[in-house]
Amino acid sequence: MTDKKLQVIPIGGLGEFGMNMTAIRFGDDIIIVDCGMMFPEAELLGVDLVMPDLTFLKENQEFVRGVILTHGHEDHIGAVPYFLSEINVPVYGTDFTLALVDRRLEEYDLEEEPRFVHVKPRQVVEIGPFKIEFIHVTHSIVNAVALAITTPLGVIIHTGDFKVDPTPTDNELFDLHTLADYGKRGVLLLMSDSTNSDRPGYTESERAVRPRMEEIFSRAERRIVVSCFSSSIHRIQLVLDLSEEFNRRVAVIGRSMVSVTEIAHSLGLLEIPDGILLRPQDAMDLPPDKVTVLISGTQGEPMSALARVAVDNHKHISVEKGDTVALSSRIIPGNERAIFRMIDHMAKRGADVMYGSMNPPLHVSGHASVEEMKLVLNLVRPRYFMPIHGEFRQLSKHARLAEHLRFAGLEDSFIMESGEILEIDHHGARKAGRVTVGRVCIDSGSVDDVVQEMVIRDRRHLSEDGIVLPIIAINRKTGRMENPPEIVSRGFAVAEAGTDFMEGARLVVTKTLESSNDEEKTDWGVMKEKIRADLKRHIVKQTSRRPLIMPVIFEV
């Protein structure tokens, strides 16, 4: 590769929600923007987390100079522990973002201490041939930034996640001036968030939630339970402020809610009124009209604090008749059943549960809608445009929004897929091949517990057809069966003890053993394979199903 080429390589996050990660390469230097994970779909049985495949970066790790994080949401920082266990480079981010990364790293045992570089908006850092300026943006999490990456061939603007909030609750406005300055000087490539490209108009300001919350606090006669994403510091601040105003104490419940609240408070990003906090174990002792509960678990995760409260299985908190429960978050697609089941449990207890879209809203998005996307396009006026963050339909719609800039210097838009290489040189920009990308499935949160595709296939197999275990006890001296074979099954409905089917299966195993010669009987590997093959044939013929068959032979 010559020094004249600039490559932009999405490792994840295009054509999918989550795993946001992009490699930017010039010559022998690579920087990584964001390092996210995603939560598994239902068919990835038993998988806890999904990380991007780092094959390309591991093959080129001597060129990787650092990871730059735009903000602290899991789909942008969740894979950092996994990444650092493979490639140890400095990680750049704002204070809150790095504090959230540090909290995640506590769960992992990395060989080397991570190297964090704390940055602030308007700060410029140099990494190899790249000069990176951090630009403050408004989003649903504090301390979010866009990046202006100056390369030898021109400037790349990476927006990260954003919305253009004209009235943010912390009064920290989106730094549109800096973005416009870069636009005036000329921008080579814009990479911009596409999440809400199918939503017309403007995304409402975070302040739009206050009227609905005020109404809840003013009319609630008993306990108020508010659940929101633990990273929504603005929303948490609102709940604390209204609780003080309405003379309520606040119990903070749930591991993530407690830890993120502590981090935000220690960084001066969250103001906690004096004497307002209440120990969780004391929340049920106060008069119900004097208590607010701030709790995690908006998505109905089975072991989350709110899910346990819903089934009356939390050691400190119960929801009772007349309590008000407000789910101040969006319902993430795929989580509907778990969330509605949780709501049903609380409704059965007589709680008034508020959720979903309403006016005024109980929740607002953190992502730009169409008009804000157009604003950023018009300010930056890039030579090339690459929509990021979203499924193909969102990327495609965002690219269409940029069409009007054809008259203002836009030469081309690139709708990319993860793994495709966008190559830019003095001749122009083009797609130029692919690199290896994909998903790595992780069990139980350990960076070592990678789940192979074969394992997931086996789990799917087990979930559909069950398992059959023929158990045979053989006399070590005579080589004969001591007892008729036992057959144990799980998830295989026809295999009930005493049925004709079970008797037939036992006969098949007995016949296989009796028809084997003495040499075969001494080789248990051969015997297991013979039993598996004969029993499989019998089961398929009788039931047309293919359970997992695992013969167990032991000596007595």
Task: Kindly state the helix (H) or strand (E) to which residue 253 belongs, with its residue range.
Answer: strand 249-253
Task: Name the active-site residue from 161, 193, 323, 534.
Answer: 193
Tokens of 69: 């994080």
Residues in contact with 113: Cβ distance below 8 Å, sequence separation at least 6, in sequence order: none
Q: What is residue 338's DSSP assignment?
A: H
- Measured at the CA of 423, the angle between CA 421 and CA 426, to 5 degrees, comes to 180
- Strand segments (E) across 119-203: 124-127, 130-136, 145-151, 154-158, 189-193
Residue 274: burial class (beta carbons within 10 Å; 0-12, 13-18, 19+): exposed
**Pairing of the two strands 412-413 and 384-388:** parallel
367 flagged as catalytic: yes
* Maximum CA extent, the chain: 91
Rg for the chain, CA atoms, rounded: 29
- Amino acid letter, residue 133: E
Residue 24 neighbours by CB distance under 10 Å: 24
Catalytic site residue from 73, 76, 136, 367: 367
Report the distance separating Cα 10 and Cα 364, nearest Å: 28
Amino acid at 510: T
Number of residues written out for the chain: 556
Task: Give me the DSSP letters along 160-179.
Answer: -S-B--SS-TT-----HHHH
C-beta separation of 5 from 422 below 8 A? no
Tell me the backbone φ, ψ of residue 294, rounded to 5 degrees: -105, 115
- 282 assigned to active site: no
- Cα 103 to chain centroid, rounded: 16
Neighbours of 292 (CB within 10 A): 26
Q: Is the peptide bond preceding residue 387 cis, with omega within 30 degrees of 0?
A: no
Nearest Cα to Cα of residue 176 among 168, 164, 184: 164
Beta bridge partners of 353: 325
**How far is it, in rounded angstroms, from Cα 437 to Cα 417?**
10
Q: Is 59 exposed, middle or buried (0-12, 13-18, 19+ CB in 10 A)?
A: exposed
What whole-number distance in Å separates Cα of residue 187 and Cα of residue 106? Answer: 39
Please check whether residue 79 is in contact with residue 105, taking contact to mean a CB–CB distance below 8 angstroms.
no
Q: How far apart are CA 403 and CA 380, in angstroms?
A: 14
Can you give the three-state secondary structure of 45-86, one letter per residue? CCCCEEEECCHHHHHCHHHEEEEECCCCCHHHHCCHHHHHHH
Q: Which residues are catalytic?
A: 193, 367
